[in-house]
């Protein structure tokens, strides 16, 4: 059988649920910020890696093209 709550008990339960909901909302926002910051760091690392790798990759390609175009004497 369902328990019957007084108005005081119902109000206290409602306040407790609101407090817990607020805590979980706050933790969700903090976790979201942490994830966004981690993604930003990973994206910056990826861009830096591509820039460094691109320079080394294209330098070897440019060297090959220069050797193919320039006729040795």
pLDDT digits (tens, 9 = 90+) for 16-57: 999 999 999 999 999 999 999 999 999 999 999 998 888 888
Q: Give the per-residue pLDDT at 3.
A: 84
What sign has the CA pseudo-torsion 12, 18, 24, 26?
negative
Give pTM, 2 decimals. Answer: 0.64
- The predicted model gives 61-65 an average pLDDT of 80
Please say whether the beta carbons of 38 and 30 come within 8 A.
no
pLDDT of the residue at 72: 63
Q: Residue 66's CB: how many other CB atoms inside 10 A?
A: 9
Per-residue pLDDT at 46: 96
- Take residue 61 and report the two structure tokens written for it: 């390609």
Residue 6: pLDDT band (50, 70, 90) is very high
């Amino acid at each position: 059988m369902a328990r019957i709550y007084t108005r005081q008990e119902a109000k206290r339960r409602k306040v407790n649920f609101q407090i817990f909901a607020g805590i979980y909302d706050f933790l969700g926002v903090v976790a979201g910020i942490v994830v966004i910051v981690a993604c930003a760091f990973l994206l910056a690392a990826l861009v830096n890696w591509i820039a460094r790798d691109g320079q080394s990759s294209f330098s070897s390609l440019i060297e090959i093209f220069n050797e193919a175009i320039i006729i040795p004497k």
